[in-house]
Structure 1
């Protein structure tokens, strides 16, 4: 499995044609306590860069963008019951949605973990 990051602090884990998307530890630390997450519905078609989800914290609301194009196959239903999963495990159990990738070559434009760490260090 490969993990990629966007400059907007989304991550995508890719396993074959399936991508699991969430926000980075850095993003959740900037947002603070997460109080609500709205994930996309199954079957929704997303183009890279589309607004895909919304995350709200006590500080602010923020859009989550699709890091790659594809069709949503699952939203993380656990977040409806416990949005704090994003705070406790942003890059694990706090994932937002899964998509079937329609153009895996789009991943070439994203950062790997080392590049993302260097990017965050400059912020």
Structure 2
């Protein structure tokens, strides 16, 4: 399979279990058939599952994370040891952070050869 396909793990487990119980999964080809038949997960729904409540489940202090503010802004920020939040580039205080998610890194850039 050359194409990437994003699946919900629990849905995949349930389908594989059901098919195995019915005797339909006996080979890796059968597993591939189940995977191919499942609909791709919605990227927006997957992202929504990453958000964590900033008050109930705060991140480790001084670690850059992505935050959602009450005004709808999405920024990269960090939380100080005392629980206060700040935007990560200019350390601007944030007092309206409601949710956060781990910071997702972008693709690595190839080094350009100048010589």
Q: Which has the higher strand share?
A: 1
Bigger Cα Rg: 2
Class of the TM-score when normalised by the shorter of the 2 chains: under 0.3
Report which structure shows greater RCO (CA 8 Å, sep ≥6): 1
TM-score, scaled relative to structure 1? 0.19
